[in-house]
Amino acid sequence: MAQSISQEAIGATGLPGATAASRHAGATTSGAPTTGTFAVGDFIVDQSGSMYVCTVAGTPGTWVALRNATALQGTAVSATAPTSNQVLQYNGTAWTPTTFSGGAPGTTVQSYITSNVTVAKNTNTNITSISLTAGTWLINAQAEANTAGYNGYSTWLWIGPTSASTTSAYSLGVTAIGSNDNYGSIWVNYSITLATTTTVYLNCRNDATGGVTIVANDVFTNIPNVSGLTAVRTA
């Protein structure tokens, strides 16, 4: 007649130097137990071959995957399975899967004008803006300026934290529209690390007699998205 063995019967009493209570509490199909009451030191083996240990008693308690328990400077890693695009974040006790605030690296934020913006002579003018969360971003600004016959003048384009202001420009570009041209293109790139959510502005100024028009679509081919901002999160 077969005999049953209780959890207590297979609980290890430990050798000298390792006498803390520990019980093999059984097995699961996959992952740590989600029901039942367990004590600190209980451990299980799931059917995929992973082992988990209970680090905080409870129902079902807090479980840590043994294969990852000391992977990050000896700090426990949560047994909770991550979802797509999550990262490991330290919560003061363990590393846990966390959704990246403001988007994971590779997140893109864009704003391109859909109608032309008129920029009067010697007037700081906002073209468009984007809101970026805390993190490191690579920002690209571009614009196509049409002087409508007032050639031989310069147009400035810059990225900054304030609308239509040069007091805190991150980066600036300039194009001098030649005497035989009516248009010019400007590009500005800048990498910035933000501590909090920040609005980034694309501003413009020119010294043409009749001002300039920042166009939404290319003057000759009517291609859209020629003037605006693109930011890609890098960290």
190-233: per-residue pLDDT in tens?
999 999 999 999 999 988 888 889 999 987 788 899 999 999 99
Q: What domains lie within the chain, and their CATH numbers?
A: 8-99 (no CATH), 108-233 (2.60.120.1340)
- CA pair distance 174, 132, nearest whole angstrom: 25
1-45: per-residue pLDDT in tens?
444 444 444 455 677 778 888 899 999 998 899 999 999 999 999
pTM over 0.85: no
- CA pair distance 2, 43, nearest whole angstrom: 25
- Residue 128 burial (10 A CB sphere; 0-12, 13-18, 19+): buried
Look up residue 32 and give its DSSP letter.
S
Q: Check residue 132 and give left, alpha or beta (phi > 0: left; psi -120 to 50: alpha).
A: beta
